[in-house]
Structure 1
Amino acid sequence: MNVRTILVAAGLLLAGVCVQAAPVEIDSLEELADYARRDNVSVRLKPGVYELNDASLGRELDLKLYKGDTPTRDYPAAALLLFSGNHSTYDLSGAEIRLDTKLHQAFWKRKLFEVFVTGNRNTIEGLTVRDVGEEVPSDSAIMLTVMGDDNTISKADLFIHGSSPYGYGHLLGKGGGALVPLHKHSSFLIAGKNTKVLGCKVVTHGFGHGIVMQGAVDTLIKDCYVEGEMRTTDEMLAETSGLAFDVGFKSDYPPGTIVPGQIKCLAEDGIRTYAYGSLVGRSTERVIVENCVIKHMRSGVALGAERGPSTVTGTTVIGCQERGYSIGSNGVIEHCKGDAMYGPLLTFLGARTKNCTIDLELMPETNAFPVTRLLEVNGTGHTITVRNHEGKRRRKETPFVFGESDWGDIHLFRAPDSDPSNYSGAYSCTLTNQTGMPIVFSELSENCTVVTDGRIQKKGGKNNKVVKVR
């Protein structure tokens, strides 16, 4: 080594520059599982198809469930592929892991994490996992779970199969008191801090959520795509065997039976938060959703359970059943659009949400399955603007409603004697309606202001103000 080379190297070290070694190239899942346990590695999996059809790489995990910040009971789990290392980079671009769904039952009665990231400060790029088959989990399954902190998941493609019930959406129940046993299969769970999800795709044919957060803090979801599938209730009612047939086509949702002439999403919500993460013992906090597309899920962007504020920008929701968007107090939704094809463009969960700023475009598409409310305004102090996408007006008039919600309808169905104001109510909200759609003020609306180019279909409530514009 000459003097010049020595001086350059010394200068780099003094400047704090770290030159990372070229990634190690591997060509087997066995090698990947080994490197996934290591710290400070850079690995590239050779492009190709990799069959995961036995449980030899898997590990049983004895996790804990928390109540508050205290672990209270055991949580038997298993992972088929465990990333427990730290400060590592994994480039899986061009490789596809084909996972035989018989492995859903390889660890009997344990919660199954197909790919489980417990390490910190890792980057995983190009992960593609495809379930092959329809075997249901012995308990429940999640394809990709990130529980460690400061991880980046980039350009992952997840294709989910295998769950029960599947084919009925949530009609047979989705939690306690379900009409049939549940063996759910969600797609992507985030429970860590500072997780970045960039350019990922989820296509789910499983009964479970798309991208879901439980105990996650400061999550960024950007440039992602989530898609489920839909099925008509007429198809369900035509069955002559199966889970719905066996319970007499009863439903856990109003009016208590499966109703003909409707359409349902077979998965759950596209991007969803829960208030708390029992695997990490903390609340879910702050989410940013940017430039995402959600199609044919039960809800598109279902935020609001987390501690905010959260923001949603540049996002599109297409053909979702229950709602396009919801968000929590002080949240912002802007430069977003949706078609409200099967459910309202916007709703708020309950009447306690406050001071949100919403700017949405309503796409003009309609279909044979009627929507009863295009907007469900509940809570206090919101500022909402809705305009027509590309200036195209919707052909069928459907109202924007203050002080009612599907959320309230469901709770009143289950507890008819409860107070409706526990679930719905709009107070001191301002709406600028540039869509030509009509306005309904229910009795649970007060001191709201609407600037509208649509007619007033019903004026209930108290002290609501209307400013008509052309």
Structure 2
Amino acid sequence: MKKIISVLLLLIVVFSMKAENSSRDTIFIKSLNKLAHYAGKSNVLVKMKPGEYTISAIKIGGLSVFKRDKTSKRKDDFRIGSLIHFSGNNSSYFLSGVVINIDAKLHNNFSKSEFSEVLVSGSNNYINGLKARDIGEHVPANRVQMLRIMGDNNTIENADLFVHGSTPYGYGHLLGKGKNALVPLHKHSVLLVEGTNTKLLGCKVVTHAYGHGIFMQGAVNTLLKDCYVEGKMRATNDMLAETSGLAFDAGFKSDYPPGKIMPNQIKSLSEDGIRTYGSGGLNGRRTKGVTVINCTVKNMRSGFDLSANLPPTKVVGSTAIGCQEKGFSIGTDGVIKGSKGDAMYGPIITFVGNNVKNCVVDLELVDTVSTYNVSRLAEINGSGHQITIRNYQGKKRSIVSPIVFGESFWNDVHRFRIPDAKHGDYSGAANIKLFNYTGMPVLLNDLTSNCTVTNIDK
């Protein structure tokens, strides 16, 4: 019944937009300059002539300065450059058949600010059919996103985004991802959501850069439906065979255990597919409320990493394929149902900390395997969860990997970086019920208490 109501509400939103649109005069345009112009207008309905267009000069865009919310801990102005800036309100843009090629040399601009190739700071807008491509591999002067949504109540439908150009690229997270990285970071993510009530419908994201696919910082009540995110994988043996480059210059050291790049592993070259951070945006508010329906993530570091936001968190009918670190992860009171993933390169699901509580999970394990070792099929931590893992289409995995309670990759990383950290700071499992239909073994370590495992080998 709830599913029917949510679908009806979505239809009401879409049809109300179409009703609004029918009462306006359509503005027909056939140039990027006109698109940039009308992107700053409110209450317009714009349709662009199909075709390929190229942005090769920074003059089409500019620098915008925003005042931070009074509740923000930061008091400085927020400065961000962009090429196309949708700053108007209550407008609709129909871009079906339009391809925007962006010269990656433009990544060299806005070195002292944030940079988003397409920025949406206005509210109550509908953008359909945005298709953008980075042409070239030029590294950003600072960091960049292709699309950033700062405003509220915006709907982005049928976007198709491809990014290229970052450093490092070719090593995944092995050389670091934060302030203690072994090399300078100039990341290039694809789609950042910071606003309230953002809807991403039927969007496709492909990344050949080091950064996230779709991520949320300070976003509230975000819906992702029918979206697809894809990255690329690379074997560490290929990295170790290099005779020049960033990894070679760093002596093949790594920011991850055991401190060096190991042979016979495989890594995603990008970061997480669909990811939440704890907070962000102009007001620094907490990220809260994410619904993911019928989405797919392939070959990213993590598939669905939704562990940092406040509830509610719901993942329905979604698929993780060939993700390196984990397929799924959710925070307290999170729900995963009707979803599936493999453990081809890493666990199908990870609970990253022992403070995650009361999740309900029903996952199907796809039997796809690889030649790479997977030490944990699932990493179970926290308390009060009810977890069911079944075999997809009744097919049992051909390589045995254990479901493990009281361990996680993140705990391994924490103890590597802080050797005197207390055992169990980030892992431990209590009062969890697991219904295991996979035929895979289950291991309960010394940080496990009052957990119930029901093994049903079908």
TM-score (norm 2): 0.94
Give, in angstroms, the shift of residue 67 of structure 1: 9.3
* Cα deviation code 1:219-273 (max 9, x no counterpart): 0000000000000000101111111111100000000000010000000000000
Q: Distance in 2 between matches of 1:66 and 1:400?
A: 45
Aligned position for 1:374: 377
**1:236–1:289 CA distance, 2 compared to 1 (3 A):** same
- CA–CA distance in structure 1, aligned partners of residues 213 and 109 of structure 2: 23
- CA deviation after TM superposition for structure 1 residue 278, in Å: 4.4
Residue 178, structure 1, aligned to residue 214, structure 2: no
Q: 2:194, 2:281 within 8 Å by CA — same for their partners in 1?
A: no
Offset of residue 304 of structure 1:
1.2
1:130-149 equivalence runs, <5 A: 130-149=133-152
Aligned to 2:442: 439
Asked if structure 2 preserves the Cα contact closer than 8 Å seen for 1:66 and 1:278, the reply is: no
Counterparts of 1:234-253 in structure 2 under 5 Å? 234-253=237-256
- Which residue does the alignment assign to 1:229? 232
Please state how far the C-alpha of 1:23 moved relative to its aligned partner. Answer: 1.8
Mapping for residues 58-97 of structure 1, pairs under 5 Å: 58-63=61-66, 69-97=72-100
Once the two structures are superposed, the pairs formed by residues 11-26 of structure 1 within 5 Å of their partners are: 19-26=22-29
Q: CA RMSD in A?
A: 1.5
Matches of residues 24-423 of structure 1 in structure 2 within 5 Å? 24-63=27-66, 69-423=72-426
Shift of 1:19: 4.9
Letter in 2 for 1:309: P
Matched letter for residue 408 of structure 1:
N
Contact residue 21 and residue 45 of structure 2 kept, 8 A: no
Counterpart-to-counterpart distance in 1, 2:88 and 2:281: 23
Q: 2:156, 2:201 within 8 Å by CA — same for their partners in 1?
A: yes
Within 2, Cα distance between the matches of 1:451 and 1:224?
Answer: 34
Question: How big is each residue's C-alpha offset from its partner over 1:80-110, in whole Å with a ceiling of 9 and x where there is no partner?
Answer: 1100000000001100000000000123333
Distance 1:18-1:131 versus aligned 2 partners, 3 A rule: closer
Could you tell me how far apart the structure 2 residues matched to 1:233 and 1:64 are?
Answer: 44
Distance 1:328 1:416 in 2: 26
What SS does structure 2 have at the residue aligned with 1:311?
A: strand
- What is the rounded CA distance, in whole Å, between the counterparts of 2:227 and 2:366 in structure 1? 20
CA distance 1:214–1:33, shift in 2 (3 Å) = same
Taking structure 1 as reference, are residues 27 and 238 closer, same or farther at Cα in structure 2, changes over 3 Å only?
Answer: same
Q: Tell me by how many angstroms 1:56 deviates.
A: 1.0
Stretches of structure 2 that go unaligned for 5 or more consecutive residues are 1-18
**Per the alignment, do residues 65 and 421 of structure 1 end up closer, same or farther by CA in structure 2, a change over 3 Å counting?**
farther
Q: Are 1:110 and 1:138, in contact at CA under 8 Å, matched by a contact in 2?
A: no
For the pair 1:448 / 2:448, whether they are aligned, the reply is: no
Kindly state the Cα deviation for residue 434 of structure 1 after the two structures are TM-superposed: 0.4
- Find the residue that maps to 2:311 and give its secondary structure: coil
Q: Which amino acid aligns with 2:130?
A: L
How far apart are the structure 1 equivalents of 2:171 and 2:415?
22
Hey, what's the Cα distance between the residues in 2 that align with 1:348 and 1:68?
31
Tell me, in whole angstroms, the C-alpha distance in 2 between the residues paired with 1:22 and 1:67: 39
1:68 Cα deviation from its structure 2 partner: 5.4
Q: Is the 8 A contact 2:21 2:92 kept in 1?
A: no
- 5 Å-filtered alignment, 1:419-430, equals 419-430=422-433
TM-score, normalised with respect to structure 1 = 0.92
Residue aligned with 1:226, SS: strand
2:46 aligned partner, one-letter code? V
Aligned residue identity for 1:52: I
Contact (CA 8 Å) 1:131, 1:160: kept in 2 or not?
A: yes
Secondary structure, aligned partner of 1:124 = strand
Hey, what's the Cα distance between the residues in 2 that align with 1:52 and 1:421?
A: 52
2:224 aligned counterpart, secondary structure: strand
Q: Partner amino acid for 2:377?
A: L
For the 8 Å contact 1:76–1:111, the answer to whether it is kept is yes
The corresponding residue for 2:10 is none
Q: Which runs of 5+ in 1 are unaligned?
A: 1-15, 455-469
Q: 2:51–2:98: 8 Å Cα contact kept in structure 1?
A: yes
CA distance in structure 2 between the partners assigned to 1:415 and 1:64 by the alignment: 38
Question: How many pairs were matched up?
Answer: 440
Deviation at 1:74, TM superposition (A): 3.7
Aligned partner of residue 190 in structure 2, secondary structure: strand
Relative to structure 1, the CA distance from residue 17 to residue 59 in structure 2 (aligned partners, 3 Å threshold; closer, same or farther) is: closer
* More deviation, 437-446/415-424: 415-424
CA distance in 1, matches of 2:66, 2:42: 22
User: Contact 1:356–1:382 at 8 Å: present in 2 too?
Assistant: yes
Q: 1:71, CA displacement in angstroms?
A: 3.5
Between structure 1 and structure 2, the one with the greater Rg is 1
Distance change in 2, residues 1:314/1:282 (3 Å): same
Offset, 1:75: 3.7
Show structure 1 runs of 4+ deviating over 6 A: none
Partner SS, residue 160 of structure 1:
strand
Amino acid at match of 1:121: N
